[in-house]
Structure 1
Amino acid sequence: MNILLITVDQLRWDAISCSGNHEIETPHIDRLSSQGARFTYAFTNAPACMPARSSLLTGRFPHAHGVRGGGVRLSEQEVTFPQILSQRGYHTAHIGKLHVQNHTYRDHTSPHPSYGYRTLQVTDERGTYRDPYTQWVERHYPEYAKAVRIEPGASRVRNGTDHMSSEGSFPAKASHSRWVSDTSIEFLREHGGTPFMLWASFFDPHSPFIVPSDWANKYDPNSLSLPRNCEITPENEYAIRSKKAAYYALVSHVDDCIGRLLHYLDESGLAEHTTVMLSSDHGEFLGDWGRWGKGRSEDESIRIPMVIRTPDMKGKPRVIEDVVQLFDLAPTICDLTNSMKPQSMQARSLLPLLKGELDEERTPFALVEINMEVSRINTTEVFEKTYRSKEYRLTLWSSQQEGVLYDLNKDPLQLNNVWGEPDYKDIQAELIWQLLQRLMETENTLPARTHPF
C-alpha cells in the first residue's frame, strides 16, 4: 500500500463544497470525498502550524512532544511515522511546507533535519527564502522570479500586512501550489514503482492571500456571505468581502492542483495501490468573530476537513461522525502499511472506522492545546486546553480562574457561555475531570525507562 498524504495549510473545515458550502468550488476534493470517507468531526491537535504538524508526524499531543506553540522546534529524537516507514523499505518524501523547525532566521540553503524522510524538499513559506520553490521559479519561469517574492512572516506580522489580500503579478503556473503538485508528480514518475509515502504539503490558502493573476477574479466579493459575529461597516464591508474572495480563490487554486495530482494517480495506475489522505493543520477565522488567522479555540480555528480514500473504497462513499484528530493519521498510516506502531504514539488508528467498525476505546472528544506568550516583551506563557466533543466545548487557561463552556446542542454557534451556571455545575465538573484524566493518560513516557532504578 502506497500513501499519498495531502495537507492544505489553514483550510477551514467548511471551506470545501462537499461540506455544504455552496459559495466555493472544490470539485477535486469533492470527488475524493465521493470515493472515500469524509470525517465531519475532525479537529486539530493545536490551532497553530508547528505544534499541529509535530503532532501529525509523531502521533503525540503537544504536551508530550514538547512543541507547545510556534517557535519551538520538534526534537530530532522524536519517533516519526516517516522513520517507521523508511525502516519498512518505503521511499518517504515530503514536498512543500513542513514547519517543525523555525523558518525565520534559518539558513534555508542548509540541509534540513530529515525526521525520517529520504526525499525532502521543504519550503515553509511562499516566495520568502532561497529554497526549492524559489529556485524552481528561477529555473522554469525566470520572468516571475521577483514577482513571487514576499517579505518574511515575522516582518508581515510586525508591519501589519500578514492578512493582506492582493492579486499577484504571476500566473498559476509559477505559484507555490503548482510547484507542490508538479514536483510531487515528478516524484511519483520517478519513484512510483517502489513502495512510497509522499506528503504533498500546500502552503496556500495561508495568509497573505496573494492570488495568482489568472485566478484573481474567480469569485465576486459581492456574492459572498459576510462573516459571523463581526462588526461590519460601510467602510470595511468590501475589504472584508474581498479578503474572503481571495481566500476562496486560493482554495480553488489548490483544489485544481490537487486535481492534477489525483489525475496522475489515475492515469498511471498508482491509484489502485495508493491510499489518499487529505486534511489541513488547522482552520482560519476568515473574519468570523472579527478575526483572521488561527490560534484560538473556536471551531473556525480548530475544526478541520479530513478525507481518506483507500483503493477498496472507490464508489462507496461514507460520512463518519466520530470525533477524530489530526494526529490519528500517523497510526492509520502505520496500520495501512503493516508497520509497527511505537508505544510513544498516543493517537488511535482510524482503520476500524474506515472499515465501518465501532471503536469503543476511542475517546469521544478532542483535546486541543496551544500556548502563547503574553507579549513580545513579557515572555510568560499562557497555556490553553480545550475539550471538544459533539455536545460541548470547554476551554481553560492557566492565567484565568474561569473558563468557557458551551452547550453545542442548544448553542451550536457558541454564543452563550454557561460556565458557572447552576444548571451546568455537574456537567462542568465532569468535563473538567475528563479533560484532566486525558492529560494524565497521555503524560510523556520518553525517554523510555531502561531499569527499575
Structure 2
Amino acid sequence: MASAHLQQQAIQAYYSAISFMDAQVGKVVDAVDRLGLGRRTIIVFMSDHGYQLGEHGLWQKMTLFEESARVPLIIAAPEMNGNQRATSKVVELIDLYPTLADLCGLTPPADLDGRSLRPLLEDPDRAWPHGAVTQLSRRAKQDPFKGYSVRSERFRYTEWDGGKRGVQLYDHEKDPHEGTNLASDSQYAETIAEMKRLLQESMKPASRAEGLKPAP
C-alpha cells in the first residue's frame, strides 16, 4: 500500500486535473458565446468512468462502487427549461445518442438502445423509473466471471457471478458512501426483489449485444 504522503499527492493531483479541466470547459463555453453560437449549440460534458481515491481501500477504477461507476454528465441545450439545474434521476451513457438525435430533430435507428433524456432536460424533477447498469469482469485464475450492478434513484444493487459470488445492496438515502451492505437484511427482501427485476430489465440491451441472458 502506498504511503499516506503518496496517497495525499495522488488526491491533490486528481483535484488539480479537475480544476484544469473545468477551466478548459469554461474556455469552450466562452468561445461559443463569443461567436454567437449559443442558440444553436448543444454542449455535452461526460466521462467514461469515475475514480476511486482510497474509498473502500481502493484506487483508480474497475469497481462497482459509486465512486467508480458514476460519471460526470452535463448537457446544455438551447431552450431547455432544465438548463443549469441538476437532477437526482439515474441515466446511462447509451442515452446520449438518442438524446442528441432528439434534440437535433433526427430520427434514430429503430433498434437503438438507450432513451432520449429530453424529458429530463425539460423537467429535471419529472418521474423517471429507469435504472443504470454497470458491468465488470473479474479475471480469476481459470475462472473469470462478471459483476453486474444497477443503480436506481435510491439504491444500488450488485450481483457477482449471478449472485453466486456475492450480492450487495446499498441505500443511498441513508448510506451515500456505500458502507453498509444490506443484502442479508430481511427488512430489505422486497427491495432486493425489486432491484433484481430492475437489473434484469436494464441488462437486456447489454445481453443482446453479448448474446447473454440475465441470471434467473
Q: Normalising by the residue count of structure 1, what TM-score does the alignment of the two structures yield?
A: 0.42
Q: Which has the higher contact order (CA 8 A, sep 6+)?
A: 1
The C-alpha deviation readout for 1:367-414, integer Å capped at 9, x for no partner, is 222223225xx4x43111112112211110117343111222232221
The answer to whether the 8 A contact 1:324-1:366 is kept is yes
- For residue 367 of structure 1, what is the aligned residue in structure 2? 133
Q: Distance in 2 between matches of 1:437 and 1:316?
A: 30
Q: Distance in 1 between matches of 2:175 and 2:151?
A: 14
- For residue 155 of structure 2, what is the aligned residue in structure 1? 392
Question: In structure 2, what residue type is equivalent to 1:395?
Answer: T
The structure-2 alpha-carbon separation of the partners of 1:438 and 1:261, relative to structure 1 and needing over 3 Å to count, comes to closer
Q: Distance in 1 between matches of 2:206 and 2:170?
A: 25
Question: In structure 2, what residue type is equivalent to 1:302?
Answer: A
The answer to whether the 8 A contact 2:83-2:121 is kept is no
Q: Distance in 2 between matches of 1:257 and 1:358?
A: 30
The C-alpha deviation readout for 1:177-231, integer Å capped at 9, x for no partner, is xxxxxxxxxxxxxxxxxxxxxxxxxxxxxxxxxxxxxxxxxxxxxxxxxxxxxx9
Q: Distance in 2 between matches of 1:317 and 1:410?
A: 27
- For residue 409 of structure 1, what is the aligned residue in structure 2? 173
- Structure 2 residue ranges without an equivalent (≥5): 211-216
Which of residues 278, 284, 309 in structure 1 aligns to 2:45?
Answer: 278
Which of residues 222, 229, 254 in structure 1 aligns to 2:21?
Answer: 254
Structure 2 residue 97 is the aligned partner of structure 1 residue 330: yes
SS of aligned partner of 1:374: coil
- For residue 425 of structure 1, what is the aligned residue in structure 2? 189
Deviation at 1:443, TM superposition (A): 4.6
Question: In structure 2, what residue type is equivalent to 1:368?
Answer: T
The answer to whether the 8 A contact 2:50-2:71 is kept is yes
The C-alpha deviation readout for 1:116-140, integer Å capped at 9, x for no partner, is xxxxxxxxxxxxxxxxxxxxxxxxx
Bigger Rg, structure 1 or 2: 1
Deviation at 1:316, TM superposition (A): 5.5
Question: In structure 1, what residue type is equivalent to 2:179?
Answer: L
Give 1 or 2: higher helix fraction. Answer: 2
Which of residues 242, 266, 279 in structure 1 aligns to 2:33?
Answer: 266
How many percent identity over aligned positions? 29
The answer to whether the 8 A contact 2:49-2:61 is kept is yes
The answer to whether the 8 A contact 1:346-1:442 is kept is no
The answer to whether the 8 A contact 1:402-1:419 is kept is no
Q: Distance in 2 between matches of 1:422 and 1:314?
A: 42
Question: In structure 2, what residue type is equivalent to 1:398?
Answer: D
Question: In structure 2, what residue type is equivalent to 1:351?
Answer: R
The structure-2 alpha-carbon separation of the partners of 1:256 and 1:238, relative to structure 1 and needing over 3 Å to count, comes to same
Deviation at 1:244, TM superposition (A): 0.9
Which of residues 290, 296, 299 in structure 1 aligns to 2:66?
Answer: 299
Question: In structure 2, what residue type is equivalent to 1:340?
Answer: T
Question: In structure 2, what residue type is equivalent to 1:432?
Answer: K
The answer to whether the 8 A contact 1:385-1:397 is kept is yes
The structure-2 alpha-carbon separation of the partners of 1:259 and 1:426, relative to structure 1 and needing over 3 Å to count, comes to closer
Q: Distance in 1 between matches of 2:49 and 2:206?
A: 21
Q: Distance in 1 between matches of 2:82 and 2:168?
A: 42
The structure-2 alpha-carbon separation of the partners of 1:299 and 1:381, relative to structure 1 and needing over 3 Å to count, comes to same
- For residue 214 of structure 2, what is the aligned residue in structure 1? none
SS of aligned partner of 1:319: coil
The structure-2 alpha-carbon separation of the partners of 1:372 and 1:316, relative to structure 1 and needing over 3 Å to count, comes to closer
- For residue 223 of structure 1, what is the aligned residue in structure 2? none
The answer to whether the 8 A contact 2:81-2:121 is kept is no
Deviation at 1:365, TM superposition (A): 2.1
SS of aligned partner of 1:367: strand
- For residue 339 of structure 1, what is the aligned residue in structure 2? 106
- For residue 240 of structure 1, what is the aligned residue in structure 2? 7
SS of aligned partner of 2:90: strand
The structure-2 alpha-carbon separation of the partners of 1:237 and 1:274, relative to structure 1 and needing over 3 Å to count, comes to same
Deviation at 1:299, TM superposition (A): 0.8
Question: In structure 2, what residue type is equivalent to 1:307?
Answer: I
Deviation at 1:363, TM superposition (A): 3.6
- Structure 1 residue ranges without an equivalent (≥5): 1-230, 447-453
Q: Distance in 1 between matches of 2:5 and 2:86?
A: 36
SS of aligned partner of 1:396: strand
Q: Distance in 2 between matches of 1:256 and 1:389?
A: 32
The structure-2 alpha-carbon separation of the partners of 1:284 and 1:262, relative to structure 1 and needing over 3 Å to count, comes to same
Q: Distance in 1 between matches of 2:124 and 2:13?
A: 40
Number of residue pairs aligned between Structure 1 and Structure 2: 209
SS of aligned partner of 1:344: coil
Instruction: Give 1:86-165 correspondences, 5 Å limit.
Output: none
Which of residues 122, 126, 133 in structure 2 aligns to 1:355?
Answer: 122
Q: Normalising by the residue count of structure 2, what TM-score does the alignment of the two structures yield?
A: 0.84
Deviation at 1:319, TM superposition (A): 2.1
